């Protein structure tokens, strides 16, 4: 205590202690309520905001990358599908062409066959008609000849005879 | 190279300035030293202060008292000396056996700034800068002084109030800016200047020492302590009006802070902390008995070391600067200022660093003590190894 009393510098004044305490407490309470709390809260909010934003950005990036991958996969798939589609279409068209050709050929064959049949029938009919006509003509000529020839009895008979000879049952 | 040239120029100009103004200063200081000599030597005839003043002309040749001059500048005062013979009178508030009493400190000095007796409920007089009750013949009345509680607004208290207003102004404004601009925008102006310091206290002092889980609770305390010390340190470095008082180099101020730290640390302390003090785990029982008193003393020495460190550092800085300036008056020649002033400027620069450093160290150690008091026990493996 003696040392403390000889040096006034290390002897705290009660008045100073009193005012210091009041000033400190006022500062602590007022700042604590109206400055530190909102400041620290705002800083913390901003930090969490930035952190969130960064996280979100990372997430976005990952999502975009995933999307790109997906897109590429889709594109590849689409390309593949297109190729198969084209191939199928080509096959189908080839098949159609072949079928059409086959059908055309068979039709042609059928028409040809029909035509030939028709021709044959016509020919036969024509021949028959010609034969009939020739027969009729022959009969008419023969009738005329006979009419002229039969005026003479002797000739008639010789002719019949001749005809009879000539007719061979064919 | 250019930096060195600028420094040299700066030193030279300061020296020249000091040379130019030191003559009137010297004359002034002579008068002051005369006054203080009077105060010191004429205690017997204190009542007749005015009369003795004329007699002091005989002491003109008396040596300049360095210690007294320096102590006068460092100590608290009932009036705030501005310049020359101008000073601001501050209110004196007393609690005596006859109740409270308030009067102006201008009543305690005469026109020559010599202490005189003021008749209130008692007879009051300034004895070596402190207000005392004196009896009719001017001797200090010890009995009556025991009842005297002096809660005057002294120079230190006024300076403390100024610093409190500065801090309140700055931070209430800064906090308002957050409300106005919102969280998302970048800080502006005062806010952007203060935010890094607040973040520094949080990220470099609080979180590493206390831990992420618990630091938030102590942030207001740490920030208040830090900025109060910082503001007062810087105010103390200003040699004229708003500054000039030696608040953070006053033992009352540091003691109050140390007591607050003591209260906060020990009230927040957990079971683990007390266990480490009274019954150190992982030790032999004899060591435990030996360590308990040491640890218990440590509880008190920690805040006391804080108190002494801040007080001693700031006071020492002030004494150093004042001593350097006093060199001029010791040698009684203006040419001494060629050495004294550059050195004083240099020490002043270091003081700026110390002002910040001491605020930093005080806050960091406070955070560390709080951290120690709140540490979760992680000595289990050490315990297990021992048993």
The residue in chain A having the minimum alpha-carbon distance to the alpha carbon of residue B219 is A36
| Residue in A113, A112, A114, A116 with CA at minimum distance from that of residue A124 | A116
A28–B221 CB contact, under 8 Å:
yes
Tokens 């191939």: give the residue. Answer: A87
- A157: which residues sit within 8 A by CB, 6+ positions away? none
The answer to whether B88 and B79 have CB atoms below 8 angstroms apart is yes
For residue A28, list chain B residues with Cβ-Cβ distance below 8 A: 220-221, 224
Tally Cβ neighbours within 10 Å of residue B208: 14
pLDDT beyond 80 at A163: no
The answer to whether B155 and A21 have CB atoms below 8 angstroms apart is no
Q: What is the CA radius of gyration of chain B?
A: 26
Q: What average pLDDT does range B122-138 have in this prediction?
A: 80
pTM exceeds 0.80, yes or no: no
Of the listed ranges A141-155, B208-222, B315-329, B358-372, the least confidently predicted one is A141-155
Q: How far is Cα B376 from Cα B155, in angstroms, rounded to an integer?
A: 45
In the sheet that holds B118-119, the strands lie side by side as B118-119, B123-127, B130-134
Q: What average pLDDT does range B124-136 have in this prediction?
A: 80
- Please give the pLDDT value at position B12: 63
**Which phi and psi (to 5°) does residue B98 adopt?**
-100, 20
| Token pair in block for residue B154 | 């002294």
Q: How far is Cα B234 from Cα B114, in angstroms, rounded to an integer?
A: 31
- Please give the pLDDT value at position B44: 37
Alpha helices in A7-36 (DSSP H): 14-31
Handedness of CA B148, B152, B157, B159 (dihedral sign): negative
| Residue in B375, B352, B372, B367 with CA at minimum distance from that of residue B224 | B367
Of the listed ranges B123-137, B224-238, B325-339, the least confidently predicted one is B123-137
Give CA separation, B146 vs B97, B101, B142, B149, B152, in Å.
Answer: 9, 16, 6, 8, 16
Q: What percent of chain B has pLDDT over 90?
A: 28
Distance from the Cα of A87 to chain B's closest Cα (Å) equals 59
| Residue A106 banded pLDDT, cuts 50, 70, 90 | very high
pLDDT beyond 80 at B230: yes
The answer to whether B129 and B78 have CB atoms below 8 angstroms apart is yes
| Token pair in block for residue B35 | 């006054």
- Residue pLDDT, tens place only, B280-293: 787 788 888 888 88
Q: How high does pLDDT run on average in chain B?
A: 79
| Token pair in block for residue B38 | 């009077």
For residue A16, list chain B residues with Cβ-Cβ distance below 8 A: 76, 154, 156-157, 250, 252-253
Residues of chain A with a CB closer than 8 angstroms to some CB in chain B? 8-21, 23-24, 26-28, 30-32, 34-40, 42-43, 45-46, 49
B174–A35 CB contact, under 8 Å:
yes
| Residue A130 banded pLDDT, cuts 50, 70, 90 | confident
Local structure of B151: helix, strand or coil: coil
Bridge partners of B134, per DSSP, are: B123, B140
Of the listed ranges A153-157, B90-94, B121-125, the least confidently predicted one is A153-157
- Read off the DSSP letter of residue B61: T
pLDDT beyond 50 at B132: yes
For residue B256, list chain A residues with Cβ-Cβ distance below 8 A: 17, 20-21, 24
Tally Cβ neighbours within 10 Å of residue B222: 25
A14–B256 CB contact, under 8 Å:
no
Q: How far is Cα B109 from Cα B318, in angstroms, rounded to an integer?
A: 26
In the sheet that holds B149-150, the strands lie side by side as B99-104, B91-96, B149-150
């Amino acid at each position: 205590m003696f040392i403390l009393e000889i040096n006034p510098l290390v002897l705290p004044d009660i008045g100073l202690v009193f005012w210091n305490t009041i000033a400190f407490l006022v500062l602590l309470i007022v700042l604590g309520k109206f400055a530190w709390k909102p400041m620290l809260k705002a800083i913390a909010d901003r930090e969490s905001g930035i952190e969130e934003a960064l996280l979100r950005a990372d997430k976005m990036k990952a999502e975009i990358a995933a999307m790109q991958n997906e897109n590429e996969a889709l594109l590849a798939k689409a390309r593949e599908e297109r190729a198969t589609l084209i191939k199928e279409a080509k096959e189908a068209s080839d098949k159609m062409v072949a079928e059409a050709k086959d059908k055309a050929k068979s039709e042609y064959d059928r028409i040809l066959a029909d035509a030939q049949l028709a021709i044959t029938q016509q020919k036969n009919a024509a021949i028959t008609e010609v034969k009939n006509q020739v027969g009729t003509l022959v009969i008419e000529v023969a009738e005329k000849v006979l009419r002229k020839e039969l005026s003479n009895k002797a000739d008639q008979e010789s002719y019949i005879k001749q005809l009879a000879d000539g007719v061979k049952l064919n | 190279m250019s930096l060195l040239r600028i420094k040299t120029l700066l030193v030279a100009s300061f020296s020249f300035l000091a040379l130019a103004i030191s003559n009137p200063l010297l004359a002034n200081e002579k008068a002051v030293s005369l006054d203080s000599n009077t105060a010191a030597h004429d205690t017997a005839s204190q009542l007749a202060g005015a009369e003795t003043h004329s007699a002091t002309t005989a002491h003109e040749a008396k040596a300049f008292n360095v210690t007294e001059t320096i102590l006068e500048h460092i100590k608290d005062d009932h009036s705030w000396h501005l310049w020359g013979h101008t000073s601001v009178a501050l209110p004196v508030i007393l609690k005596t056996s006859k109740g409270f009493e308030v009067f102006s400190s201008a009543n305690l000095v005469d026109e020559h700034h010599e202490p005189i007796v003021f008749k209130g409920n008692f007879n009051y007089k300034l004895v070596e800068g402190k207000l005392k009750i004196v009896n009719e013949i001017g001797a200090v009345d010890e009995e009556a002084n025991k009842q005297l509680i002096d809660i005057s607004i002294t120079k230190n208290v006024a300076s403390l109030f100024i610093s409190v207003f500065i801090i309140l102004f700055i931070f209430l404004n800064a906090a308002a800016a957050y409300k106005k601009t919102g969280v998302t925008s970048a800080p502006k102006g005062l806010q952007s200047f203060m935010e890094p310091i607040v973040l520094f206290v949080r990220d470099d002092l609080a979180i590493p020492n206390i831990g992420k889980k618990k630091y938030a609770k102590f942030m207001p305390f740490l920030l208040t302590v830090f900025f109060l010390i910082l503001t007062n340190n810087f105010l103390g470095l200003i040699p004229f009006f708003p500054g000039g008082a030696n608040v953070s180099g006053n033992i009352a101020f540091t003691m109050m802070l140390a007591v607050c730290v003591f209260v906060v640390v020990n009230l927040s302390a957990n079971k683990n902390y007390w266990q480490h003090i009274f019954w150190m785990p992982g030790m032999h029982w004899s060591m435990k008995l030996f360590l308990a008193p040491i640890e218990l003393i440590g509880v008190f020495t920690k805040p006391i070391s804080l108190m002494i460190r801040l007080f001693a550092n700031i006071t020492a800085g002030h004494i150093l600067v004042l001593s350097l300036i006093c060199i001029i008056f010791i040698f009684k020649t203006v040419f001494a200022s060629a050495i004294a002033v550059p050195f004083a400027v240099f020490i002043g620069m270091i003081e700026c660093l110390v002002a910040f450093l001491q605020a930093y160290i005080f806050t960091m150690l406070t955070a560390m003590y709080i951290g120690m008091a709140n540490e979760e026990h992680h000595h289990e493996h050490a315990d297990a190894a021992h048993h």
